[in-house]
Amino acid sequence: MKRKATINDVAKAAGVSKGLVSFALNDRPGVSPETRDRILTVARDLDYRPSLSARSLSTRTSYAFGLVIARDPEILGADPFFPSFIAGVERVLLHEGRALVLSVVADEQHEATVYRTLTADARVDGVFITDLRHDDSRIPLLRELGMPAVTLGRPEGAQHGDADAFPAVCLDDTPGIVAAAQHLIDLGHRRIAHVIGPRRMLHATRRNGAFAATLEAAGLPADLVIETDFTAAQGASATEALLDLADPPTAIVYGNDPMAIAGIGVAHERGLNLPGDLSITGFDDSELARYVYPALTSVRTDPLAWGEAAARTLLRLTTTGVADDVDLEPARVITRSSTGPVRA
């Protein structure tokens, strides 16, 4: 078995000291460009990989970022957004020799404890803040802890480029929800329901506001709204409740694809024709959306690209101390066969 190269091997082959090798590999000042290039070339030729623990000690850097998610693990497992987002983060961190520390907690109290522990133990260099909330307590907590952070979306009241705000990676989801609602209106639907996520989350109330404004602009009522926890089970229950109404909706807009797919299942069980008797739209345009029957109309948000952009932004923030906000391509509706004209 081939012996693993050491920093002594690199120093000897490059004709420099171990200290200079360490400076070059950690991109620290004090090394000429020519010497740095020679050391990096030797390290690459020898397939030298420095010990992560040794690097952490010498640079006071953990080489890891944190993601703390306050959701039921069962909910998280069924939601296609986070696996895709995490894949995007990992795709960037892999090439930077960094890791992602994931912690799934039951509630916001445990969430705060995890943030304090990560900071006290120097486990991570920065964190991603997802599922922004109204009066989000995480923002002041992380400022108090001195923990660098990147938010997915802008916190309540924040504006683009606010000097005192954490960098934000934003994807405007309102054009997608407006387009989905308008698509149904254009198909002749006049009684349209909205099945949303928890109202404490900014994106749930923001999307519902855009949905309501679109219906009201068309002179339609926007009072058919049911709040859920984003699970397929509650999506199914919401569908049952809506279809049991004396005047049920002819179209339902769901806050994510799992709930929409559960709604399709409920409609099939009741013998309804889709989209003849009921049109359904989802959100996030997960891979499964195109394979269910009928194929699901959904709002595309590209969480993979969101994860990549968030990782690059947090890397920039933790290495240079500053990072600009990033605005991604807005969400858009992808129409498929789960939506159609309202039956006369």
CATH number at residue 218: 3.40.50.2300
91 and 164: one domain?
A: yes
User: Taking all residues of the chain, what is their mean pLDDT, rounded to a whole number?
Assistant: 90
Question: 261: domain range?
Answer: 174-301
Give the other-Cβ count within 10 Å of 148's Cβ.
18
292 and 309: one domain?
A: no
- pLDDT (tens digit per residue) in 204-214: 999 999 999 99
- pLDDT (tens digit per residue) in 92-109: 998 888 899 999 998 888
What's at 83, amino acid-wise?
P
227 and 326: one domain?
A: no
Residues 176 and 165 sit within 8 Å (Cβ to Cβ): no
User: What does the alpha-carbon distance between residue 127 and residue 124 come to, in Å, rounded to a whole number?
Assistant: 7
Q: Into how many domains does the chain fold? A: 3
59: in domain: no
164 and 203: one domain?
A: no
Question: What is 245-259 written as a DSSP string?
Answer: SSS--SEEEESSHHH
Residues 282 and 289 sit within 8 Å (Cβ to Cβ): yes
Give the other-Cβ count within 10 Å of 99's Cβ.
16
Listed in order, strand segments (DSSP E) in the chain are 64-70, 99-105, 126-129, 149-152, 168-170, 192-196, 225-227, 251-254, 279-284, 297-300, 326-327, 332-334
User: What does the alpha-carbon distance between residue 51 and residue 96 come to, in Å, rounded to a whole number?
Assistant: 14
User: What does the alpha-carbon distance between residue 103 and residue 114 come to, in Å, rounded to a whole number?
Assistant: 8
The torsion angle over the Cα atoms of residues 42, 44, 46 and 52, rounded to 10 degrees, is 110
Rounded average pLDDT per 10-residue block, the chain, 344 residues: 74 82 73 84 80 51 89 77 94 90 88 93 94 94 95 83 80 96 98 96 96 98 95 96 97 97 97 97 94 97 95 94 94 97 84
* pLDDT at site 57: 45
